[in-house]
Structure formats: C-alpha cells, structure tokens
C-alpha cells in the first residue's frame, strides 16, 4: 500500500467519522450545496466578463448573450457534476472495499487465517445444499489438539498460539490438496467438511490429516514439542443438516479421546440416525 493510499484512506475515515447524526448529514449537504452555488456564480461571472467585458452599459446582441449563457451553463454543470460524481465514486469504492474487508474479517480467524465458526457454518451450509441436490456424499470431521491445556500450562500461551498456527497451516495445505472446507471452530478445535467423500474415503482423509499434523514438531527459540490431534468423523448415509452433522462429529471426537487420543473415531450408531 502506497503512502498516498494510506493518506487518502485516513482522510476519508476522518471525513466519514465526522458524519454520525442526521443534523451532520444536513450540514454536510448544505455545505456542499453552498460550494456548488459559489463555484457556479464565480465561473459564470468570469465567463461573462471575459466574453462581454466589464462595461455594464455596453450594447450586446441578445442572441450572443443567450448562446454564451447556454454554453456557460452546460460547461459549468458538466464540470461540477463530473467532479462531484468522481468524489462520490471514490467514496463508494472505499465503502465497497471496506464492507468486503469487514465481511472477510468477521468470518476469518485472526490467528490462523482459517475460516472461523461463522464463516464455516455459512460456507458449509451452501456446500451441503449443493451436495444434497447433486446426491453427493458428505463427511464432517471435528479435530481437537491433544492436551492443549497442558501445552499452554507447560510452555506458555505464546507457544500455544504457535501450535494453533502450525496446525492451521497443516489443515490449510491439506484442504487445498483435497478440496476440503476447513475452519478453526473454536479454541483448539478445528472443523473439516469433505464433499464428495464416501465414509471410507473420509476415514482415509482423516488418518492422513492426523499423520500430517503430528509429522512435524512445533518449535520456537526455546521450546520444541510434537503435537497430535484427535479426530471425530461423521459420514451419514443420507441427508443431514449441518448442525446434526457437526454434533455427531463432535460426539465421535469424544470417542477418539476416550480411546486414547491421537486417532480417528466414528460414532456409527449416532451418525447413521442422521439419514433422512
């Protein structure tokens, strides 16, 4: 971002932040109208003076005055409307970019760069709807970093953040390679949605993801740790709502923890009940 862009944005922000009430809107509009009227008067006077001179008693043809007045009115109107339209377009551009950035921020986890829960729920709902319409299988996984509280307590929260970033990078790369939807669902939990994957394929993906997460150490200047994850898998045989799908995946995750962690588990009985 250039210095000019930063200066413009900061100036725009100050200008927009000054308008917060209806009275300020009216004041701003009146000010712009006064400027437009003043510019029109000055430009008209200058044009007439240059063309007709300053002698108020001079005899001038009516047709010449009408032509001059028409040309001046058109030129001045075009200039002012163009200038104001350009400024309005700049404001609309910045507002559009700001809205898009706010939309992105509200659906992105700041630490890992993955979708947050809100972003995941919205994207997953659309993906599920498309999958159901095309009669494609879907599977969901809930992933949890093993003993994350102990990691924070032993190494400190800064190292814990590094662990989250590391797992987020593995998930992001894995999702790109396998066309998955991933998110940091909350705390040390991550969510994965696999559209077009059968139960067996999803189980293979889950195991590959588990191995990928524990394949590299998390290190900083003073510490090094091997981190593992537990994964709960839900792969219904029929149509399921997103809330049901994630609830079953979460229950399967607790099964994985009870089985000793660092594994992939599926709650068969519960997930099968999701089928419509």
Any catalytic annotation for residue 188? yes
Could you tell me which of 230, 213, 219 has the C-alpha nearest to residue 155? Answer: 219
Between the CA atoms of 36, 38, 43 and 46, what dihedral angle is there, to the nearest 10 degrees? 180
Residue 151: DSSP 8-state: H
Could you tell me which of 203, 114, 209 has the C-alpha nearest to residue 164? Answer: 114
How many helices and strands (H and E) does the chain possess?
9, 7
Compute the distance between CA of residue 249 and CA of residue 187 in angstroms, rounded to an integer.
16
Q: Which residues contact 275 (CB under 8 A, 6 or more apart)?
A: 236, 237, 238, 239, 240
Q: Is 249 in contact with 157 (CB distance < 8 Å)?
A: no
List 94, 169, 179, 188, catalytic entry? 188
Q: How many Cβ atoms are within 10 Å of 234's Cβ, its own excluded?
A: 29
Residue 163: DSSP 8-state: H
**Two tokens at 206?**
């889950």
Which residues form the catalytic set?
Answer: 188
């Amino acid at each position: 971002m250039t210095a000019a862009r930063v200066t413009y944005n900061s100036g725009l922000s100050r200008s927009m932040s000054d308008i917060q009430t209806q009275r300020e809107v009216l004041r701003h509009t009146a000010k712009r109208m006064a400027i437009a009227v003043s510019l029109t008067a000055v430009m008209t006077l200058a044009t007439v003076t240059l063309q007709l001179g300053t002698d108020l008693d001079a005899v001038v043809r009516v047709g010449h005055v009408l032509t001059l007045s028409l040309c001046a009115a058109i030129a001045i109107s075009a200039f002012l409307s163009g200038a104001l339209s350009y400024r309005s377009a700049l404001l609309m551009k910045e507002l559009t970019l700001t809205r898009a950035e706010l939309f992105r921020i509200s659906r992105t986890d700041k630490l890992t760069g993955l979708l947050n829960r809100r972003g995941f729920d919205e994207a997953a709902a659309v993906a599920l709807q498309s999958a159901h319409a095309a009669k494609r299988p879907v599977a969901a996984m809930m992933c949890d970093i093993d003993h994350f509280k102990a990691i924070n307590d032993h190494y400190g929260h800064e190292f814990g953040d590094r662990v989250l970033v590391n797992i987020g990078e593995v998930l992001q790369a894995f999702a790109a390679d396998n066309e998955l939807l991933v998110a940091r669902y909350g705390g040390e939990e991550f969510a994965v949605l696999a559209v077009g994957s059968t139960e067996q394929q999803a189980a293979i993906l889950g195991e590959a993801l588990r191995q990928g997460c524990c394949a590299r150490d998390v290190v900083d200047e003073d510490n090094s740790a091997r981190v593992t994850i537990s994964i709960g898998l839900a792969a219904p045989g029929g149509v399921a709502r997103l809330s049901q799908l994630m609830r079953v995946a979460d229950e399967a995750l607790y099964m994985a923890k009870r089985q000793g962690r660092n594994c992939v588990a599926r709650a068969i009985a519960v997930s099968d009940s999701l089928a419509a």
